[in-house]
Structures are given as C-alpha cells and as structure tokens.
Chain A
C-alpha cells in the first residue's frame, strides 16, 4: 500500500504542479517575467549528490532568466522511472529523467522519451565512447551519460596488516579472497570475510568480467532478448563462489536484498575485512570511516580461471521526454550538457567517485595530478580503461531486467540458505524466462 499511496501522492502532486505550470505559461506570455519550469527527476536521496545537482541548477538558472530548472528526487531508480512513465501517461511528464541502465529497455519501450542526440545539433564527441555506446539504440543517442560507476573491492588495511597480509596488494581473484580470509581467520581475526549486499548488479558484473552475456540475441542488442543465461558456466562459477564464501563463514551482509547502506555500515564499522560496492560510494564511505582505519581499494575480484574481460560500463543517464515544446526541450538539453561539462564532471567525480564521463575531464584530472593525490580513486579508471568493448561489457538489455535482478537475488538467498547452486539457477532461469516471455507478449 505504501508504494501505491506514494505513487498517488506523487501523481496528485504532479497534477497540481501541472496546473500551476499552466498558469505560469500564461503569465509568461502576458508579463514575461515568470520563467518556465524545467522538471528534472533524479534518484539521489543523499544530501551530497542531490545538493550538487541543486547548486548547478541555481547556477544555470541565474544565467537563463527564461527558464528555471527544478530538480527533484523521486526515490529509487525503479521508482523514478515508474513515476516518470506514469506521470507522462497523465500528461504531466517531467522534462528530464535520470534512468538507470537496467531501465533502458523499458524506457525505450514506454515511448515517452525522445533521443536527446536528435534535438538540434549536439556535439557528443567528448563523451567517453564505451559509456556513450551503452545509451545508443538504433543509431540514436537516447540519453546523456551522467553517473557511471562499477563495483570495486574496498579493503580494511589495518586488518590486513594484523592478518599478516600485504595491504598494498589486495586480492584479485575469488581464490585469493578465500585464501586471504583463511589466513586472517588463522591469525585470529573474527572479521575475516567479504561483504557485499545481495544484489543482482554484482552478479551481472561478474558475468561481464567472464565475457558472458546475461541474455541471448547479443545481450539483447541484436534483437529483443527472449532468454536469460542464468544457467551458463559463468553464472554457476559466480554463485559457487558466493556459496563457498558463505559455507566458510566468510560472507557478510544484513541479509536484506539490495541493502547498500547496511553493507556499507558493516564495512565502515570495521566488522569485515573486504567489501565490494560501487565506486560511487568512495566519497561517502571514506567520509564515514573518517580516521577509524586506513581504507584501500582494488579491482573487482574475478574467478582465477577467467581472463579479465571488464565491467559493464553502465550507471545512469539522463533522458529527455517527448511532448514538451521545442524551446523547453532545448533548454533541458542545454542544462544537461552544462551539468556534464568538463569542469562539473571533475567536481562530480571528486565528490562521489563516479567516473567523469568526458575525455577532457579525465585529461584535466591527470594534469592536476589528482590520481597521485587520491590513489584509491585510480582503480576505477584502471578498471574502465582495461575493459574490453564487446556485447558482454556493453550490458544486457531486457524489458524485465528488474524482475530478473530480483529473481537472481532470490537465487543467491536460497544458496545462502543451503540450496544447491545448479538447482537454484535452473529454477531462477525458468522464472526469469517466463517473465520475459510475458513482457515480450505485449509487443505481439
């Protein structure tokens, strides 16, 4: 009920906004003083990131008296996209929506968006290519990359030293993680272990690292995906690792699905030696740790038997909705280009740990010597630059990605409860395929 009532509140709120927006348009024509509001819905609920956006909106507004960017947080990624689509059906769509990579197919299929690259002449050559490629469908750039990240390993260096491990060479493979945990346990460290929240995203990243797609038809990029690859060898290897960690008492989480904050807390409180989460949390986590211990970072550990193929270069991007006057669309586009310009992407990166999505930003950061000053941040770039560009790392697209994630997460939970890896994955594939088939039937 909660979500539904929130949705209703959002919708009625949106209706009020729409009504007041209409008034403003009238006033604008008559008196030419009230600026036209450009709505930007995003999914950041923390002060640091939403504050950053608000500051830039104020800066942009001060130089564009005819328009006013209104940035609003709409809850999680899923909820933001859902609210935008539903709002659009009621005729109250925002202009700009932050959509996570998993929502791409649904965003495309919903038909409420217009390719931002086709609104006037936009020079996108400065955006990092593999990132931009993710958001290119049917040769049109649909959205502007904004916050891109990938998972990395976080380490508690003090604990590693206590365990007799070298804090400057973090484990790189599944096997090395297990060995390091064994060593630490033998050294009498009860916090020996690896923590990450139960999330399909990590599973997807591990498939990509092993060079395997998550769905058929070229990861859903050659044609509409019709089948998931949840029983592939890479899938089994990944889940086997989680099982082994857990069986040895080395896996730490709150047990709640997608509990980012809970897992971060475990690491920040010094209750686990290794932690995996997004590069985007580098800023927040190191602030939270403060000086309690020395934090290190490393590349995402992968199966030792596999070649390092790279991570999915996803994250979220900003989409432009159709159905608004051209002048408003252009204003919205201009704001996004301003928000992701070289200077702003640098401050964004420094604040959060997200990749700056522009080549010029990376060059500038290098010139500044930023990577020497902030060594924990370099690892994210190493991972990105090493990534082999192919369909596995381009990331899968399917209409039911949200469901597939939940199903994968439930399979992980089952395995943590002692279920067999292959059985759980077979069951998961059956369910995920059924949901996908159900979704695809909407287009027949």
Chain B
C-alpha cells in the first residue's frame, strides 16, 4: 500500500492510464459491446438488413440443424488447444534446456529456434501447404523416393488435424522458447550441481528442478498459448485446410479443423451472412475465454510458486 505515494500529483496515474484505456475502450470494449447487441439481431452484412430476433441466434447454436456443427467445433477447439499447448510447451522447454546446456556453442541453435516466430502466420501456412501438398509437396516427393507411402495430408481428417496442430506448435515454438530460455538463465547452476552430487540423473533434475522453477513462466505461457490456439490459428487453417476436411462419425457435421474462430468467419461472411449468428458465437467464445482465465487465476494462486518471499 505504501507504494501509492510514488505519484506526487493526485490523479497522475489516471493520466498515464488514459491512453491504454482509450485504446481498450475503442478497440476492445466498444466492439465487444456491439457484438453482444448484434447477437440479438438477424443482420445480413451485405444486404444491410437488421431485425431483432431475441435469442434465436443462440437457440440455433444449441438446437436444430445448425447445432451439431457448433458442438463439434467447440469440442475440436478444446482438443486442439490441449494438443497445441502441452506438447508445444514441453518441446520448447526441452529445447531451451538443451541449448542452454551447450553454453556459448548453443547460440546458433538459439537463433534457429527463435526463427519461426519471426514468420507471419500467413507465411508459415504457405510454407506448410507447399511442404504437405499430397501430390506435389516436398514431403511426399521425398517419401516417394524410397517408399510407397503417400499420406493424404490435407484430406485425411486425422492427418489434416495433426498437420494444423503441428504447424501451430511449430509457429509458436520460438515464442515459448524465448521465454523458457530467459527463465532458465535465471535458474542458479549450483542447484543442478547439488543435485548432481546427490546422484540425480538428467531426467530427474529436469522434472524435479527445471519444471518447478520455471513454473511462473509456464503459467504465463499457458495463458498466452491458449489465446494463441483459440484465435491465431485462423491464418494457418485458412491457408492449409479452409476448415476442412469433414471427419468420420461423429465428427462429420463440419470440417475437423473448423475451430470456433474459423466458424465465426464462415458463418459471418458465408452466403447467408447473418452477422448476428456470428456475433452470438463471438459472445460465447468471449465467455469461454473469460471462464478459462478465471480458472487459471484461481489455480495459479494455489499452485504456482514464485519464490522470493
């Protein structure tokens, strides 16, 4: 509490907050509020029509012919997030650990590992679509040179899903890696030396020392990766699969890579272009993210150790 007196003039903190608040209000709160209002209308973007229909858009999401696709998309998004975040963080942590153990010689690896993050999602998506084109892509050409294996990367539902997951992990690897690298540089080496003397192996020190000590960073990364996998996967999906392919039962109501964010786009800009229907989905997506964030803060209070005090 005593920190308050740092600002001499009263209200100065408000002045400093103002630019941020203005941007938030203009680009976040106001559009969010507009989405909530719009979700109660049938509003065709291109015809410019607007008619109040109460909660019909929400009803259509949960019952009737359009509901199965929404449920499928919701489930897929959750599976997708887990599959992107867990291996993504684990791989980055292992790589950060390995490259830091090389000392100065690890520099080149650091640069190479951070590289993918410098690419825009659009470029990353284009690279993957060139690599994995089933007929003329580099991967299948290479496979064809010494085997008969020609996987249908883009039209087999399981492969397509995994491909988008992989692309998504790869794209964000550099980001996660940088944070872990920084965190690991702050872990005192003598802790490892002590463990070494006590006879702990590499694997044991990794799980007993590294993982707990980078806990706060992991906590932060889970949150940022969650919003990454919920929102930023859009460009990769748009370039790789366009939301397809249709899955096997019971995943055959929409494309297996039609995540919530992509479905909003499809429904809003598609033929019937009911922006209200798309807005209703945005509102729910906002709710989901809000709920997860709330859980995370609750969980973090109990289980993340920041050390220090």
Cβ-defined contact, A431 with B241, below 8 A = no
Please indicate the chain B residues that have their CB under 8 angstroms from the CB of A436 in the complex.
272
Is A439's CB under 8 angstroms from B133's CB? no
Closest to A261 in B: B133
Task: Establish whether residues B234 and A2, one from each chain, have CB atoms under 8 Å apart when the complex forms.
Answer: yes
The 8 Å CB contact of A414, one of B45, B136, B252, B261, is B252
Indicate which residue in A110, A254, A410 contacts B47 across the interface (CB closer than 8 Å).
A110
Is the Cβ of A110 less than 8 Å from the Cβ of B46?
yes
A-B contact count (CB 8 A): 132
In the assembled complex, the Cα of A431 lies from the Cα of B246 at a distance in Å of 15
Q: Does A262 contact B (CB under 8 A)?
A: yes
Chain A residue contacts of B235, Cβ below 8 A: 1-2
B242 within 8 A of partner (CB): yes
Given A254-B133, A431-B65, A436-B272 in contact, is the A1-B231 Cβ separation under 8 Å?
A: yes
* Chain A residues whose CB sits within 8 angstroms of the CB of B265 once the complex forms: 3-4
**CB under 8 Å from chain B, chain A span 240-284:** 252-258, 262, 265-266, 269, 271
**Are B246 and A414 in touch, CB under 8 angstroms?**
yes
Interface on chain B toward A: helix, strand, loop, or mixed SS? Answer: loop
Give me the 4 closest cross-chain CB pairs, A-B, nearest first: A255-B155, A403-B271, A400-B271, A402-B271
Cα A262 to Cα B239 with chains together (Å): 13
With A255-B245, A401-B271 already in contact, the answer to whether A442 and B65 are too (CB < 8 A) is no
Interface string of A1-29 (1 = CB under 8 A from B): 11110000000000000000000000000
CB-CB contacts below 8 Å: B59-97 with A: 64-66
A258–B239 Cα distance when bound, in Å, is: 12
A-B contact pairs, 24 of them (CB 8 A): A1-B231, A2-B122, A3-B265, A78-B269, A86-B46, A110-B47, A254-B154, A256-B155, A265-B133, A402-B271, A404-B271, A406-B270, A409-B244, A410-B244, A410-B246, A417-B157, A417-B245, A417-B246, A417-B248, A436-B272, A438-B274, A439-B44, A439-B272, A442-B51
Report whether A255 and B65 are in contact in the complex, using a CB–CB cutoff of 8 Å: no
A78 to B273, CA, bound (A): 12
Interface membership of A161, Cβ < 8 A: no
Interface mask (B252-278 → A, CB under 8 Å = 1, otherwise 0)? 101100000100011001111110010
* Interface mask (B132-161 → A, CB under 8 Å = 1, otherwise 0): 011110000000000000001111110010
- Does A99 have its Cβ within 8 Å of any Cβ on chain B? no
Residues of B near any A CB (own CB < 8 A) = 42, 44-49, 51, 64-66, 121-122, 133-136, 152-157, 160, 231-232, 234-235, 238, 240-242, 244-248, 252, 254-255, 261, 265-266, 269-274, 277
A376 lies within 8 A of chain B by Cβ: no
B134 near A254: Cβ-Cβ < 8 Å: yes
Is A214 located at the chain interface by the 8 A CB criterion? no
- Distance, CA A438 to CA B271, complexed state (A): 10
Inter-chain contacts of B121 with A (CB < 8 A): 2
- Counting CB contacts under 8 A, is A435 at the interface? yes
- Which chain B residues border A266 with CB–CB below 8 Å? 135-136
CB neighbors of B among A370-422 (8 A):
399-406, 409-410, 413-414, 416-419
The answer to whether residues A1 and B234 also contact, given A410-B244, A410-B255, A438-B42 and a CB cut-off of 8 A, is yes
Whether B134 pairs with A255 at a CB distance below 8 angstroms is: yes
In the complex, which of the residues B48, B265, B277 has the most CB atoms of chain A within 10 Å of its own CB atom?
A: B48
Q: How far is the CB of B236 from chain A (nearest CB, A)?
A: 10
Specify which chain B residues have a CB less than 8 angstroms from the CB of A89 in the assembled complex: 48
Closest Cβ of chain B to A70, distance in Å, is 24
Closest to A401 in B: B271
- The answer to whether B47 touches A402, judged by C-beta atoms less than 8 angstroms apart, is no
Contact flag A258-B274 (CB < 8 Å), given A266-B135, A417-B247: no
Is the beta-carbon distance between B252 and A265 smaller than 8 angstroms?
no
Given A434-B66, A435-B272: A417 touches B252 (CB 8 Å cut-off): yes
The closest CB in chain B to the CB of A412 belongs to: B246
Interface residue tally of chain A, by bracket?
35 or more
Inter-chain contacts of A1 with B (CB < 8 A):
231-232, 234-235, 261
A430 at the binding interface (Cβ < 8 Å): yes
Q: A1-B232, A1-B235 are known; give 11 further A-B pairs, CB within 8 A.
A: A109-B46, A111-B47, A255-B152, A255-B154, A256-B155, A269-B135, A399-B272, A400-B270, A403-B270, A410-B254, A416-B245
Given contacts A252-B135, A255-B160, A269-B136, is CB(A442)–CB(B247) below 8 Å? no
Q: How far is the CA of A434 from the CA of B136 in the complex (A)?
A: 38
Question: Shortest Cβ distance from A331 into chain B, in angstroms?
Answer: 27
A106 proximal to B (CB < 8 A): yes
Q: With A and B bound together, what is the CA distance between A89 and B49 in angstroms? A: 12
Closest to A435 in B: B272
In the complex, A82 has a CB within 8 A of chain B: yes
Q: Tell me the nearest residue of chain A to B42, going by C-beta.
A: A441
CA distance A256 to B237 in the complex (A): 11
Docked CA distance A418–B64 (Å): 25
- Is the beta-carbon distance between B65 and A257 smaller than 8 angstroms? no
Q: Are B272 and A419 in contact, with the CB atoms below 8 A? A: no
The answer to whether A300 has its CB under 8 Å from any CB of chain B is no
Do residues B152 and A434 form an inter-chain contact, with CB atoms below 8 A? no
